[in-house]
Structure 1
Amino acid sequence: MTQDCLDSPSTADVSKRLPKGIHVIGAEKLSASKVEGIPQRERIRKKTDPSKQPTSWSYLFLQHMAARTFQKWLEEYNADKKKFPKQPFFIHQTYRYTYKDKENQHGVKKILEPSVSGLVFLQGTVKDIQKFLAVYFPQYHLVKDRCQKRPASIQDTIMQPFMNVMKTHPEQVTFLRDAFETFAKDHVKLRVITGPFKDYEGYIIRIDRDRQLVFDFGGYAVAIRGVHKEDFEVVEEQ
C-alpha cells in the first residue's frame, strides 16, 4: 500500500474528528500519551517497500480489445511448460447489459468485458515485471504512483481481498475520480484491524448515503462498501 502525499494528522485532536458509528480501538484515549496501554511510538508500523516483494502487484493500462488479446497471450504463455517462471496476472471482467436491437430497444444481452478500462495487474517485483514487459511487450509500461514518482506497487495482502471482492461482489468497489489525498481534509486516516480487509488504510467517507472506506490503491482512490462495521485504529506515520 503506497503512502498518500499528505501527512496524517497528529493524534492531538483526532478524537473530535473520528467518523460517527465507527469502532476505533482506543478512541477515548487518543489525546493521551498512550493508546490501549501501549505507547504510541510502539504502535507505529514500519513501511515496507512492496516494489521489491515478489508477491506484490503492479499494473498497466490497455484498451478493451488490447486487454483481451493480452489476457489470451498470458494464458498461452503460462500454459507453455517451457516458459518459466510463470507470470501471474489479474484482469477483472464483468457483464455489461445492452439491448440486442438498439434501435427498437428490444431484448437484452450480456457482454463480458473488463470492468475498468484496460486495467491489467501483474505480480512480481517491479524490476522483474519491467524486464518481462521489455522482452515481450516493450510498448507497454507500468503506471506510476504520482506520489512516489515510480511504478505503483500494491502489497499482496491488499491485492488478494481486492481480487476476491471483485470476483464475487464487484458492486462493492468504486474507482473514484478524485485523488486519494483530497479525502484527507477533515478526516482521520484509519487502519482496518478485523475482517477480510485487515490492514487496509484510508478514510471513512459517506458516498451515496453509505459509509465507505476510501483507500489508496496503487495511485487510485478506491471506495469499498461493507467495511465500516469492522474495528479500526488510527494510523500513525513514522
Structure 2
Amino acid sequence: MRTASAWPPRLLGAGSVAALLLLWWVATGPAGWVDGARFPDPRTFLESLRQISLTGYAGGDLLKHVMTSSWLVARGFALAVVIGIGLGLAMSMSAFWRDFLAPVFNFVRPVPPLAWIPLALLWFGLGDGSKLFVMAMAASIPLIINTVTGVEQIDRTLLAAARVHGARGWIWLRHVILPGAMPHIAIGLRLALQTSWTVIVAAELLGAIWGVGKVLTAGKDDVYPGMIVVGMATVAVLGMASSFLLGRVERWVMPWNRR
C-alpha cells in the first residue's frame, strides 16, 4: 500500500526534473563523464533545437515534422479505436464472434508491432498507408483486450436489472455496456495512444519525407547527437501532450471516475 507523501506532488515532480537537468549538465560539462560526440550537453541541444526550429533540418522545420507525425498518429489512433473497440464489443457480447475471432486474435496478438513494418512496406510502400496499417494492427490489440475485460467485469446484477427494465439494442449498449466497460476501455485507449507514437516513430525511421522519425534518421546518418536528442525530446513532449488531452476527454466522458 502506497503511503501519502508530505511533499506536494507538483513540487516533487518539479524537483525530479530539476535534478535530471542538473545531472545532465554536470555529466556532459564540468564532470566530463559523457563524451559530447556521444551525447550533447544542454547548450548543444538548445543550438540544435534553434536550428531545426528556424532554418530547418531533414527537409523541414520542427513544426512541419511535428504536424506530419501528429496527423499520422491521430488518424492511426482513430482507426485503432474503431477496430479495437468494435471487435472488443463483438467478442465480449457475442459467443459466435468470440469463438470465430479468438483463434485469429490469439495468433496475431504475440506478434511485436515492429514486426509488421516490413510486410506493410511491401503491401503499401513508403506512403502513409503502411504507417496507418501498422498503427492500426498494433494499437488495436490493447483496446480489444481491455474492452473485452471491461464488459466481462460489469456487475451481472446490473445487467439483469437493465434487461428486466427493457434495455435492448442501442439503449443497452449506450446506457449499460459502454458506461460499465469505460474505465477499462480508457486504460486501453492510453495504451493504444502510447503504442501509436512508438510505431509511427519506428515506421518513419525506415522511410518518410517528413516526421519526427525522419529527424532521428537524419541525425543518426549525420552523426548529430544534438539533433537526435531533439527528436527524442519532441516525441516525449508530443506523447505527454496527447496523453494530457486524452485524460481531459476521459474526465469529460467519465465525470464519476475522477482521480
TM-score by length of 1: 0.28
TM-score by length of 2: 0.27
Q: Which has the higher contact order (CA 8 A, sep 6+)?
A: 1
Structure having the higher helix fraction is: 2
Larger radius of gyration: 2
